[in-house]
Amino acid sequence: MRVVIQRVLQAQVEVSGQVVGRIERGLLVFFSVGRADTDADLEFIVDKLVHLRIFADENGKMNRSVQDVGGAILLISQFTLHGDCRRGRRPGFEQAAAPDRAERYYRAAVEAIRRYNVPCQTGVFAAHMQVSSVNDGPVTFLLDSGRLF
């Protein structure tokens, strides 16, 4: 699994002009499932999202998690994170999971995040979405459950 994590002051997602998810302080997370991903990959990603210390403490150091600061997560499915642009001019998506499998893991991620008592808003799986945010910092991280980066 691959995610792009952005620390935000606010973020929202719209589908067909309607806001379907909105958060204030927290994490905007773009989430992609790979063809070979397993439950262990899901556990790794969710644990990182909830516990990654990227919010400032009283000394201004990144030492607090989204859970510590009472923040929320806006989780957006984005299979293009598994796009391969190394050859040619059109990305290949051979490493992305099939849509039905990806959606199962996406929904499982939402439920797992909520089990940590972290509010989790979502987009609409496989929909064309407009995502807007105010990145705080800016702070952005890439995470791959295979520890490729």
Determine which one of 80, 95, 140, 149 is catalytic: 80
- Does some domain include residue 129? yes
CATH number of the domain where residue 113 is located = 3.50.80.10
The vertex-9 CA angle with 8 and 15, nearest 5°, equals 75
> Could you tell me the residue range of the domain that residue 44 belongs to?
2-144
- Does some domain include residue 32? yes
Nearest to 33 by CA among 93, 79, 64, 92: 79
* 11-47 pLDDT tens trace: 999 999 999 999 999 999 999 999 999 999 999 999 9
* 38-48 pLDDT tens trace: 999 999 999 99
- Does some domain include residue 109? yes
CA dist list (Å): 63 to 58, 93, 104: 9, 36, 32
Determine which one of 30, 31, 44, 79 is catalytic: 79
Task: Check: CB of residue 73 under 8 Å from CB of residue 55.
Answer: no
Identify the band that residue 147 occupies on the pLDDT scale cut at 50, 70 and 90.
confident
For the question of residue 44 being annotated catalytic, the response is no
* 51-76 pLDDT tens trace: 999 999 999 999 999 999 999 999 99
For the question of residue 55 being annotated catalytic, the response is no
Q: E-strand spans in 40-128?
A: 55-56, 62-64, 72-77, 120-122
- Does some domain include residue 149? no
For the chain, how many structural domains are there in total? 1
- Does some domain include residue 14? yes
Element (H, E) at 113: helix 99-115
- Does some domain include residue 79? yes
Determine which one of 6, 12, 78, 122 is catalytic: 78
